[in-house]
Structure 1
Amino acid sequence: MTRLFNDPAAFADEALEGFAAAHRRWVRPVTGGVVRAVPTPRGQVAVVVGGGSGHYPAFSGLVGQGLAHGAAVGNVFASPSAQQIRTVARAAEAGAGVLLMYGNYAGDVLHFGQAARRLTADGVPTRTLAVTDDISSATAEEAAKRRGIAGDLPVFKAAAAAAEQGADLEEVVRVAEHANARTRSFGIAFSGCTLPGAEDPLFTVDEGRMAVGLGIHGEPGIGEEAVPSADEAAELLVGKVLAELPEGVERASGGRAAVILNGLGSVKYEELFVVYRRVARLLAEAGVEIVDPEVGELVTSFDMAGVSLTLTWLDDELEALWTAPADTPAYRKGSVERPQDLPDEVPAEADGGTEAVPEATEESRVTGRLVAETLTTVRDTIDAHAEELGRIDAVAGDGDHGIGMQRGSTAAAEAAEHAVAAGAGAATVLHRASDAWADRAGGTSGALWGVILRAIGDALGDSERPTADRVARGVTDASAGVRSLGGAEVGDKTMVDVLVPFADMLAAEVAAGAALTAAWDTAAEAAAKAARDTADLLPRMGRARPHAEKSLGTPDAGAHSLALIVRAVHGVLGTRKQAPAVGGADRK
Structure 2
Amino acid sequence: MTRLFNDPAAFADEALEGFAAAHRRWVRPVTGGVVRAAATPAGQVAVVIGGGSGHYPAFSGLVGRGLAHGAAVGNVFASPSAQQIRSVARAADGGAGVLLMYGNYAGDVLHFGQAAERLTADGVETVTYAVADDISSAAPGEAAKRRGIAGDLPVFKAAAVAAEQGLPLAQVASVARRAGERTRSFGIAFSGCTLPGADHPLFTVPEARMAVGLGIHGEPGIGEQSLPTADEAARLLVDTLLKELPVDVPAPGGQRAAVILNGLGSVKYEELFVVYRKVAALLEEAGVTVVDPEVGELVTSFDMAGVSLTLTWLDERLEELWRAPADTPAYRKGALGEPGPASEPAAPVRAAEETEQPAVPEASEASRQAATTVLAALAALAATVDAHEDELGRIDAVAGDGDHGIGMRRGSTAALRAARAAQERGAGAGTVLIHAADAWADRAGGTSGALWGTVLRAVGAALGDRDAPTAGRVAEGVAEASAAVRRLGGAEVGDKTMVDVLVPFADTLTAAVAAGAGLTGAWDRAAGAATEAAAATAALLPRKGRARPHAEKSLGTPDAGAHSLALITRAVHGALLDHPHDQY
Which of 477, 480, 484 is residue 477 of structure 1 equivalent to? Answer: 480
What is aligned with 2:32? 32
What is aligned with 2:575? 572
What is aligned with 1:357? 360
Distance in 2 (CA, whole Å) between partners of 1:490 and 1:354 is: 38
1:368 Cα deviation after fit: 1.2
Distance in 2 (CA, whole Å) between partners of 1:322 and 1:470 is: 57
What is aligned with 2:545? 542
Distance in 2 (CA, whole Å) between partners of 1:3 and 1:553 is: 32
1:575 Cα deviation after fit: 1.7
Q: Deviations over 1:467-487 (max 9, x none)?
A: 111000000000000000000
Q: Does residue 292 of structure 2 align to residue 289 of structure 1?
A: no
1:337 Cα deviation after fit: 2.2
Which of 427, 431, 434 is residue 431 of structure 1 equivalent to? Answer: 434
What is aligned with 2:132? 132
- TM-score (structure 2 length as normaliser): 0.99
Q: Does residue 172 of structure 2 align to residue 175 of structure 1?
A: no
What is aligned with 1:327? 327
What is aligned with 1:379? 382
What is aligned with 1:404? 407
Amino acid at match of 1:555: P
> Is the Cα contact below 8 Å between 1:209 and 1:225 reproduced in 2?
yes
> Is the Cα contact below 8 Å between 2:20 and 2:34 reproduced in 1?
yes
The DSSP-based 3-state class of the residue aligned with 2:87 is helix
1:357 Cα deviation after fit: 1.2
Q: Does residue 480 of structure 2 align to residue 445 of structure 1?
A: no
The DSSP-based 3-state class of the residue aligned with 2:308 is strand
Distance in 1 (CA, whole Å) between partners of 2:581 and 2:39 is: 57
1:448 Cα deviation after fit: 0.1
1:343 Cα deviation after fit: 2.7
1:354 Cα deviation after fit: 1.1
What is aligned with 1:489? 492
What is aligned with 1:460? 463
Q: Deviations over 1:295-344 (max 9, x none)?
A: 00000000000000000000011001101111100001111223388437
Distance in 2 (CA, whole Å) between partners of 1:343 and 1:289 is: 40
Q: Which moved more, 1:222-231 or 1:335-344?
A: 335-344
After the TM superposition, which residues 152-163 of structure 1 pair with which residues of structure 2 at under 5 Å, given as runs?
A: 152-163=152-163
The DSSP-based 3-state class of the residue aligned with 1:351 is helix
> Is the Cα contact below 8 Å between 1:91 and 1:346 reproduced in 2?
no
The DSSP-based 3-state class of the residue aligned with 2:353 is coil
Distance in 2 (CA, whole Å) between partners of 1:345 and 1:216 is: 35
Q: Deviations over 1:193-212 (max 9, x none)?
A: 00000000000011100000
Q: Which moved more, 1:330-339 or 1:474-483?
A: 330-339
Q: Which moved more, 1:388-397 or 1:247-256?
A: 247-256
Identity %: 76
1:373 Cα deviation after fit: 1.2
Distance in 1 (CA, whole Å) between partners of 2:158 and 2:580 is: 61
Distance in 1 (CA, whole Å) between partners of 2:201 and 2:581 is: 48
Which of 342, 346, 349 is residue 347 of structure 1 equivalent to? Answer: 349
What is aligned with 1:76? 76
Q: Deviations over 1:174-231 (max 9, x none)?
A: 1101100000000000000000000000000111000000000000000001110000
Distance in 2 (CA, whole Å) between partners of 1:10 and 1:229 is: 39
Distance in 2 (CA, whole Å) between partners of 1:242 and 1:57 is: 27
Q: Deviations over 1:260-285 (max 9, x none)?
A: 00000000000000000000000000
Amino acid at match of 1:509: A
> Is the Cα contact below 8 Å between 1:258 and 1:314 reproduced in 2?
yes
Q: Does residue 533 of structure 2 align to residue 521 of structure 1?
A: no
Contiguous gaps of at least 5 residues in structure 1: 583-588
1:252 Cα deviation after fit: 1.2
Distance in 2 (CA, whole Å) between partners of 1:559 and 1:237 is: 36
What is aligned with 1:232? 232
Amino acid at match of 1:437: W
The DSSP-based 3-state class of the residue aligned with 1:278 is helix
1:355 Cα deviation after fit: 2.8
Amino acid at match of 2:183: T
> Is the Cα contact below 8 Å between 1:129 and 1:177 reproduced in 2?
yes
Distance in 2 (CA, whole Å) between partners of 1:179 and 1:390 is: 35
What is aligned with 2:119? 119
1:257 Cα deviation after fit: 0.2
Distance in 2 (CA, whole Å) between partners of 1:256 and 1:125 is: 35
After the TM superposition, which residues 166-245 of structure 1 pair with which residues of structure 2 at under 5 Å, given as runs?
A: 166-245=166-245
Distance in 2 (CA, whole Å) between partners of 1:330 and 1:82 is: 25
After the TM superposition, which residues 89-108 of structure 1 pair with which residues of structure 2 at under 5 Å, given as runs?
A: 89-108=89-108
Distance in 1 (CA, whole Å) between partners of 2:116 and 2:199 is: 38
Q: Deviations over 1:120-173 (max 9, x none)?
A: 011001111110000000000000000000000000001101001011111011
The DSSP-based 3-state class of the residue aligned with 1:129 is strand
> Is the Cα contact below 8 Å between 1:256 and 1:289 reproduced in 2?
yes
Amino acid at match of 2:353: D
Contiguous gaps of at least 5 residues in structure 2: none
Change beyond 3 A, Cα 1:289–1:562: same
Distance in 1 (CA, whole Å) between partners of 2:544 and 2:581 is: 42
> Is the Cα contact below 8 Å between 2:32 and 2:84 reproduced in 1?
yes
> Is the Cα contact below 8 Å between 2:438 and 2:453 reproduced in 1?
yes
CA RMSD in angstroms, aligned pairs only: 0.9
Q: Deviations over 1:371-390 (max 9, x none)?
A: 11110110000011011000
> Is the Cα contact below 8 Å between 1:505 and 1:522 reproduced in 2?
yes
Tell me which stretches of 4 or more aligned residues in structure 1 moved more than 4 Å.
Answer: none
What is aligned with 2:4? 4
1:574 Cα deviation after fit: 1.2
> Is the Cα contact below 8 Å between 2:38 and 2:346 reproduced in 1?
no
Distance in 1 (CA, whole Å) between partners of 2:423 and 2:331 is: 47
